[in-house]
Structure 1
Amino acid sequence: MHHTSTAGSNKWLLSEPNKDSQARIFCLPYSGCGASMYRLWPKFFGDIEICPVQLPGRESRVRDRGYKSYEDLVKDMIEELSPYFDKDFAFFGHCGSALIAYEATLQLQTKGICIPKRLFISSQVAPHEGPFGRFLHLTDEELRIELEIITRKMGGVPIQDLLDFQVSILCKDIGMNKRYSDKEIVQLVSPLVTFGWTNDSEINPNQMTGWSQYGEVSQHLIEGDHYQFLSAPEEFVKIIQGSMK
């Protein structure tokens, strides 16, 4: 058990959630990245607070031991985030982190803790159809090149020493993704909202239809590439706001 948070400081979040927010979306960073990847998003979509989640082993939690499986990661994560489930809330995940968002929704439902209002999934196949993705088969050097591209897309400058470290995180995250296999289809109480992107070279939107077997699903196709969501495009924000009403 990694329970270490104290009143007013929770290392799973970049900042303490606002007590007055109407709703919260816990946004999970995708493979190899930390919570700062959401820095281009506004703090609120209307009256919905955006709460980027900081996973262990990266950025402000660089010294915290990582996990071997999404299941173990999520078990500790939902325990630490549980004080903030007192408002309407949802999980958002893109690519690999969509599976963490799904696993969190599933564990909360299975344990009878509480039910997220929505599960937002971007650019990922349904769990029973994975593991899937080009990244799962790349060498360390190829992953390094991808991380340079991602860093620039997020408005940063790649730093060589840092990239070595990020590659090691990415390899661990990819390992968790590969182990998250042979999943059965579970009916979720939380409605799902899926986002496919017209020019996504990693996941074709047609490969996301399997989510419709997990319960009530609203599917959306938005203009843009695999990284378009990083800039919080207007149509994307509107759909999220409308879904949380």
Structure 2
Amino acid sequence: MANKKELTVEEKLRALYDLQLIDSRIDEIRSMRGELPLEVEDLQDEVAGLNKRLEKLHVDLSSIETGIKEKKIAIDEFKEAIVKYTEQQNQVKNNREFNSLEKEIEFQNLEIELAEKHIKEMKASIESKKNNISDTETKLASRKEHLGHKEAELKSIMSETEREEQLLLEKSEEFMQNIEDRLLTAYTRIRNGVKNGLAVVSIERGASAGSYFTIPPQTQVEIATRKKIITDEHSGRILVDSALAAEEKEKIDAIIAKI
């Protein structure tokens, strides 16, 4: 792999600031999306969960309805058995057989009572399931509508920014090739260590951009000479003079405008 071109300090500062401007624009694009991709993902998961719940409720409802049909069939069978045992009672020749059949009839009647109790409980469960289905369907419709709006919003933002972001990422990689590894490592470390992602900032009104700490006049003069790379002692950010910053911003803005 070829060595990177040896740059003057000023060229290094310009390259670093160019990279910062490109990366800041990428940050801006991603900030526009904000939490929207996560919102969409959460809503998709919620809709999937509600669909699964609805499916289970319908399966449960069908199972209960089948159970009721089975109980009704069983009741008919118990009633048939009672008729059969009652007819047999009329033909028995002793009390022992009569009493035995009487116990069978009592047992069948108890089975009928138990089955009817279960049917009553299952019918109550059906009402509860139907209410749950109705509530779930209402919630699902609401979540689907909300998801549709959010997906449309995200699609709109993505269509506006996705191509620009991809081209900017390519530009960022391109600019990195012109920066020596040591500086690139420092840039990345500083950028990852601050909330706004600014690793290279200009001097504004005697202070580093975004900072309230004044840069000593002598240091400002040194920065303006562009003979050495100077960092802000308070934030650790790399400092460039406002004139250089303005020139590079104009250049990068022109590049971005063509994207």
Task: Judge same fold: TM > 0.5, yes or no.
Answer: no
TM-score range, shorter chain: under 0.3
When normalised by structure 1's length, the TM-score is 0.20
Give the structure with the higher percent helix: 2
When normalised by structure 2's length, the TM-score is 0.20
Give the structure with the higher percent strand: 1
Relative CO higher for 1 or 2, CA cutoff 8 Å, sep ≥ 6? 2
